[in-house]
Structure 1
Amino acid sequence: MKNQPVYQSRFDALKCCILVPTYNNEKSLASVLRDLMLYTSNIIVVNDGSTDSTHNILKNFSDLNIYEYDQNRGKGAALNYGFKKAEDLGYAYAITIDSDGQHYPDDLDIFLSELESKEGDKEILLVGDRNMGRDGIPGKSTTGNKFSNFWYLVVTGINLRDTQSGYRLYPLKIVNPIKLYTNKFEYEIEIIVKAAWRGVDVKNVPIKVFYEDNRVTHFRPFWDVTRIVLLYMWFVLVSFFYIHPRNKYREFREKGFKRFWREDIIKSQELAHKKAAAVALGVFVGMSPFWGLHTLLVFLLAAAFKLNKVTAFLFSNISIPPLIPIIVYAGYQLGSLIKGKGFAWELRLSDFDSSAEVFSGLGQYLLGSFVLAGIVAFLLWIVFYFLFSVSNQKQVVKP
């Protein structure tokens, strides 16, 4: 009687499978599949148009679910196709693993254990953490991963140590409906960003990794890095102009002003001067002349200065429509005063009947608006530093 794979019952109970996208990995493919079959028979292989002996190798694994493309379409396309086939076969989760032999099959236990311990209805998406800081990891891989980790944090607010590992666990009912636009290596970035935007708990789990000196890789440094950079540039725009404001607005509406202020601002564990600095930053950016860029700037600056993004964003909305004319007018008048012209209470279009006067007036406004923003921000820092100091003391002495 043939022995059952080691984790077969766990895979079946969790409705989980393994998805192996492969392209021209004839040297390692067979051994990778044989090792995986020791743990489960729930394996799907997508041959992404390989031109080596991959097709013939897969003939020896007829018990597995194998799908093959005639032409290479990219890793993302292979994963996307595999996810849909997996759900069609009745699976709820898929663990992806590369076919180049760098991943260890016994780490499947880590993914399964995390899935078994999941509580509640919130879905999880797990990304293997290869411990990129250790010896033996190629320098270009470490640098690229740090770049991706930083921008992933910027656009999602989630701090991952490894965003580029191909050893992952995906919830199929979440990822399959997501509309994705990439089909190569950047697909794995796009999917974890958009999953996070949908409220999925994206997190790392520790895994081992084996790098051979002559490991076959199809990652093209220039073109693939270029596509990843362009993708993150787009994500930054979407996150700052839509995702972050939408999430904060939803949170604000759910809690109401009093609860939001009490829980997210007053009861923040930050020091009083840091809380007040977040208020001042938000006001300064909101009153600055960078119209249309306030949300982007306030999140970037809050991240750079390690200030509370929620507080900074909330106070950056000082430039609401009723106040905008007042702020612009006050900035222009202050600029006039600074330039020694005094106050010009009445503004007439005839005052700007030449390009030189238009540029002079614009410069006057820019100067005045920055000074006005700085003064108001500083005064509010003093006021809120006092308020936050008092509230922090009350929290400390509260029994």
Structure 2
Amino acid sequence: MRYLTAIPVHNEEKHLESVLREVVRHAEHVLVVDDGSTDRTPELLRDFREVEVIRHPRNLGYGAGLRTAFRRTVDAGYDGLVTLDCDGQHEPHMIPEVAAGLAEADIVSGSRYLKVFDPAQSPPEERRRINVEVTRWLNECLGFALTDAFCGFKAYRRSAIEKFEITDLGYAMPLQVWVQAARHGMSVVELAVPLIYLDEERAFGGALDNSDYRLKHYRRVFQDALREAGLEVAGGCR
């Protein structure tokens, strides 16, 4: 299988070089989607000539970066796509293992909660609370059996990507992916990946930094996605 490995980035000068050095060791075709970075990210990317770069002229959002990666996968004729983040929380040496899962599923989704790799690692309480709640929606309303709704370490078959109609450009974009995956009857497997949280604060931006607001926003996006997909779901899911 010929697959693309894509990393959406925005102002990642702190982690970019170390992450990319590892990624290119484990992936043959690498794309970085620079979502309008204003730090040294564009300058640092010029040193990685083996890496394809698509740059958004301004910051559009995390979902926009993944949507660009989806389009590039299809346009360039790749068989699949692996995505991971550039914040040091994913293990690039696992890229081939994540991609290999596409032999049996349309989507391979990393899960930080299937297996404990390091007992000393734990997620921020509010982020874990939101993940648990959103994962419950996906399982109860869509019939999945997931343990991690928001892990960015994933793989997709091109045939799955071609069915997606992504309109949410922000951090709620995965909810559209899950709803549309259910709508099209896509097969999903989870793969245990290490839980890694670094000693730094990661901002979502604006009102989304408030966890209660963020959860309500995710709920609105989820409900809208259900309606747009025309799914027959229980009343409590609407």
**Residue 218 of structure 1: CA displacement?**
3.6
CA shift for structure 1 position 234: 2.9
Say yes or no: does 1:18 pair with 2:8.
no
- Whether 1:98 and 2:85 are equivalent positions in the alignment is yes
Per the alignment, residue 49 of structure 2 pairs with 62
In structure 1, the partner of 2:108 is 126
- Whichever residue aligns with residue 104 of structure 1, its letter is E
The answer for the alignment partner of 1:296 in structure 2 is 235
- Secondary structure of 2:231's aligned partner: helix
Higher-RCO chain (CA-CA 8 Å, sequence separation at least 6): 2
Matched, 1:50 2:44: no
> Deviation at 1:296?
2.5
- 1:212 equivalent to 2:163? Answer no
- Per the TM alignment, residue 105 of structure 1 is displaced from its structure 2 partner at its CA by 1.1
Give the C-alpha shift of residue 178 in structure 1. Answer: 2.2
Q: How much has 1:202 moved relative to structure 2?
A: 2.0
**Structure (1 or 2) with the greater helix fraction:** 1
Structure 2 counterpart SS, 1:44: strand
- Of 157-166 and 131-140, deviating more is 131-140
User: Aligned partner of 2:4: which letter?
Assistant: C
Amino acid at match of 1:225: L
Alignment partners' CA distance in 1, 2:177 and 2:226: 15
From 130, 141, 147, the equivalent of 1:144 is 130
Q: Which residue of 58, 69, 91 corresponds with 1:82?
A: 69
Structure 2 residue aligned with 1:257: none
Distance 1:172 1:151, change over 3 A: same
The answer to whether the 8 Å contact 1:41/1:64 transfers is no
TM-score (norm 1): 0.54
How does the TM-score come out when normalised to structure 2? 0.87
Contact 1:155 1:235 in 2 (8 A): no
On the 8 A contact 1:20/1:45 being kept in 2, the answer is yes
The residue type paired with residue 212 of structure 1 is L
Aligned mates of 1:40, 1:235 — CA distance in 2: 33
Q: Say which SS state the counterpart of residue 38 (structure 1) adopts.
A: helix
Equivalent AA in structure 2 for residue 127 of structure 1: S
**DSSP-derived class of the 2:27 partner:** coil
Partner of 2:101: 114
Tell me the SS of whatever aligns to 2:144: coil
Q: Distance in 2 between matches of 1:44 and 1:93?
A: 13
Query: Match for 1:211: what amino acid?
Result: Y
Instruction: State the Cα distance separating 1:41 from its structure 2 match.
Output: 2.7
Which residue pairs with 1:40 in the alignment?
27
1:328-361 deviation per Cα after TM superposition (whole angstroms, max 9, x unaligned): xxxxxxxxxxxxxxxxxxxxxxxxxxxxxxxxxx
Q: Quick check: 1:227 aligned with 2:217? A: yes
Q: Does the 8 A contact of 1:49 with 1:72 survive in 2? A: yes
Deviations 1:39-98 (A, max 9, x none): 123101100001111010101012211111111000111111111112222212111000
In structure 2, C-alpha distance between the alignment counterparts of 1:88 and 1:228, rounded to whole Å: 30
Give the letter aligned to residue 152 of structure 1: L
Instruction: Tell me the equivalent position of 1:243.
Output: 231
Tell me, which stretches of 5 or more residues in structure 1 are unaligned? Answer: 1-13, 246-294, 301-399
Distance 1:201 1:161 in 2: 15
Shift of 1:25: 1.1
Identity of aligned residues (%): 23
2:18 to 25, 31, 50: 31
Checking the alignment, whether the CA contact within 8 Å between 2:35 and 2:61 is kept in structure 1 is: yes
Structure of higher CA gyration radius: 1
SS of 2:232's equivalent in the other structure is helix
| Alignment length (residue pairs) | 230
Offset of residue 217 of structure 1 = 4.2
Structure 1 residue 189 displacement after superposition: 1.6
Q: Secondary structure at the match of 2:70?
A: helix
Letter in 2 for 1:138: P
Cα distance in structure 2, aligned partners of 1:235 and 1:71: 26
Following the alignment from structure 2 to structure 1, what is the Cα–Cα distance between the partners of residues 9 and 130?
22
d(CA) in 2 for partners of 1:68 and 1:238? 30
What is the aligned partner in structure 2 of residue 305 from structure 1?
none
Equivalent residue letter for 1:71: R
The answer to whether the 8 A contact 1:130-1:208 is kept is yes
SS at match of 1:61: coil
Q: Which has the higher strand share?
A: 2
Whole-angstrom CA distance in 1 between matches of 2:94 and 2:129: 25
Cα deviation for residue 237 of structure 1 reads 5.2
Q: Deviations over 1:154-184 (max 9, x none)?
A: 2211120001011111122322342222111
Query: What does residue range 140-289 of structure 1 map to in structure 2 within 5 Å?
Result: 140-218=126-204, 220-222=208-210, 224-235=214-225, 242-244=230-232
Determine if contact 2:13/2:41 at 8 Å carries over to the other structure: yes
Structure 2: how far apart are the matches of 1:234 and 1:216?
Answer: 27
Partner-residue secondary structure (3-state), 2:169:
coil
Partner of 1:313: none
